[in-house]
Structure 1
Amino acid sequence: MLNNIKLNNFGPLTELNWPKLGQINLIIGENGTGKTFLLKALYCTMKTLEEYKRGDDQRRLEDILAEKLYWTFQPEKIGDLVTKGVDATLSCSVTFGNSQLSYKFGKDTVRQIPTIENHVQPRSSNSIFLPAKEVLSLHQIILKSREQDKLFGFDDTYLDLARALRQSPTKGRNYPEFANSRESLEDILGGRIEYDEKAGRWQFKKGNQKFSIGVTAEGIKKIAILDTLLGNRYLDTKSIIFIDEPEAALHPTAVCQLLDIVAMLAGSGIQFFLASHSYFVVKKLFLIAQKEGISIPVISADGNQWETADLKDGMPENTIIDESIRLYKEEVELALK
């Protein structure tokens, strides 16, 4: 499990220190504050540890990391990730368990990271990034664009997800820890997505009926991806899941149901990082923290500053919360006129 994160001069993240992480971690802030940037920075770090020394892969750790940063953020050179206008290096340090990985590089770095120190053992588990946009209807396009054409456009979060979905389901071999979560997911979906090998496309199966993925609701596709990754055993109890805008394309009721499942999976060992600007997400996770008595660390952007809090201790101060309070006050004032 990731325990601590420290970033300096990493794009819009000039200084960020997030200690005492939990099984569920929330990033909140307005558009453009760097929420997705933070998720991707963490994702690159974890995928590097997972690809390092896996199977017969002989690549050096620093080469894997440089490649991951390049294809995830897609700059001309990875030195472009250094915060603009500062005369300092980009640095990243994460603590995983009791071990640490850290690296740094400057604005002139092209594709080779000069300084890296790692004490974390290679991982056999898989992390995954679930983007705000759905990928099922673009599955084959993503694979062709990256694997054959080698083009920028779909970054590594999309490619890794497309590859993970390509893994065949293992009937009858689900992890017992995920049984209840998968039942809850199927209740929300009312069915399940399947890949038609002959047609080369995804479809949604509800009872005896099959529907093209193109006419399937966006929210269903998003939740179905999580169910599929649990079903094909790509994810296990030591995986880390990064979700960008879990509320995207979902009805508030479905958002709450999804977060209940997130809490259930977190109880089984999976660690989550969620980036959101939804009051529903913040409020629901607050209620989960209060009801279950669990720590849900939250980091929120206030301009260029990042503040940490814990939903176990109450709702954090943030513009998302402030705006909901302002709307409530406005409603009260109208009612009193």
Structure 2
Amino acid sequence: MGYRIEEVKLQNYGRIDKFSCNQFSNINLIIGENGTGKTFLLKALYSAIKAMEEYKRGDDISPINDILSEKLRWTFQVDKLGDIVSKNGEDALNFHMELDNGKLDYQFSKSATSKVGSVENPVVGKEGNSIFIPAKEVLSLFSIILKSREIDKVFGFDDTYYDLAKALRISPSRGKNFAVFSDARKVVSDVIDGKVDYDENSGKWSYKNRSNQKFSVGATSEGVKKIAIMDRLLANGYLNTNSIIFIDEIESALHPKAVCQFLDMMDSIANQMGLQIFITSHSYFVIKKLRLIAMKKEHTVSCISLNKGQEAQVCDLYHEMPDNSIIDTSIQLYEQEIEEVF
């Protein structure tokens, strides 16, 4: 079993006035209408996890305060950290996260500039390499992302894009790999009907189908490119049993059938290796598919429903589905269709 997030408490964190959850599973689905803070929550968790992973890594002696401050600034792309604090009140931002083997607490006020005001140091850093897969694909923008961050050092592509680009730059390893990763890569190959490769000499990505026809990545569908990202991360050894995977709007650019295949792959990775996965979605197909996955076993999929001005609803999808506008709208459309027919 790898490292897992067990409990999270947020207060005055951007669009999220208050959030508390201690019912996380291997797969965690975050739903809610626009403006409820789904991506904000995902980035808050990711920035904390990555700061813990970079803390005390190798010979690095940087204090957690510096690491976390930089991670927050480049993940949320703010001129000063205080801009992350909710605009609704004067209270400070508070963040608390507990893993199964450590925790991270920090807080800062609206006046914070470049440093987090108060951080309770974790005893040790977190092992593993976690990753965030944004809603927009990155392969077509790969060289632009790296140049903007490593040469120009400007805002535009936040750390979720930059970290992913750096991870994708690692060449596939020929050593021993996890069997479940190999199985997952076969699924990827079937879904995209080929493979995507990176030429280190030219710095360009290309797609090659099963007939050995080669295409530039710009002429390849966004769905193929998005799924190919996971193939690369499984092949180059970046992900391991201690990784946590964050996926923003998993359905973006994917056909419903591909969404279902992708989620089956995530289910295998999460439950055979103990990896924890966080997913945001607006899609009826995503909710329905994860509900079917959850019905096989308790505590497999948790669903977190964010609602403006209300506390988050959290449930085990094995037992129930929380109230949400995605399902409600689907039902309304069905009822409207029935009325029109009859």
State the TM bucket, normalised to the shorter chain: over 0.9
- CA distance in 1 between partners of 2:181 and 2:228 (Å): 14
Matched ranges for 1:49-60 at <5 A: 49-60=52-63
2:313 paired with 1:307:
yes
Partner of 2:335: 329
TM-score for both structures, normalised by structure 2: 0.96
- What residue number does 1:41 align with? 44
RMSD of equivalent CA atoms = 1.2
Which of 287, 290, 294 in structure 2 is aligned with 1:289?
A: 294
1:293 shift after superposition: 4.2
Deviation string 1:87-141 (CA, Å, 9 cap, x unpaired) is 1010000010053211101000011112111345312200000000000011010
**Residue 160 of structure 1 aligns to a residue in which SS?**
helix
**Partner amino acid for 1:39?**
L
Is the 8 Å Cα contact of residues 24 and 263 (structure 1) preserved in structure 2?
A: yes
Contact 1:175–1:233, Cα closer than 8 Å, also in 2: no
Query: Which residue of 2 is the match for residue 213 of structure 1?
Result: 217
Instruction: Tell me the CA shift for residue 85 of structure 1.
Output: 2.9
Amino acid at match of 1:335: V
Q: TM-score, normalised by structure 1?
A: 0.97
Partner of 2:80: 77
Q: Deviation of residue 312 (structure 1)?
A: 1.0
Give SS of 1:313's match. Answer: coil
Change (3 A) 1:119 1:145: closer
2:318 aligned partner, one-letter code: K
- For 1:331, give the aligned amino acid: E
* SS of equivalent to 2:326: helix
Matched, 1:317 2:329: no
| Partner residue in 2 for 1:169 | 172
Q: Which moved more, 1:68-77 or 1:180-189?
A: 180-189
Gaps of 5+ in 2: none
Deviation at 1:193, TM superposition (A): 0.9
Q: For 1:68, which of 53, 66, 71 is the aligned residue?
A: 71
Residue identity matched to 2:205? W
Q: Which residue of 2 aligns with 1:243?
A: 247
What residue is the counterpart of 1:107 in the other structure? 110
- What is the CA-CA distance between 1:69 and the residue it aligns to? 0.4
Who is 2:184 aligned against? Answer: 181
**SS of residue matched to 1:49:** helix
Q: Secondary structure at the match of 1:205?
A: strand
Cα deviation, residue 177, structure 1: 3.1
- Counterpart of 2:282 in structure 1 is 277
- In 1: Cα distance, 2:161 partner to 2:143 partner: 11
SS of the residue aligned with 2:296? Answer: helix
Query: How many corresponding residue pairs?
Result: 336
CA offsets, 1:2-54, max 9 Å, x none? 01111000000000001121100010011121110100000000000010111
Deviation at 1:321, TM superposition (A): 1.0
Q: Distance in 2 between matches of 1:88 and 1:25?
A: 29
**Offset of 1:298 from its aligned partner?**
1.1
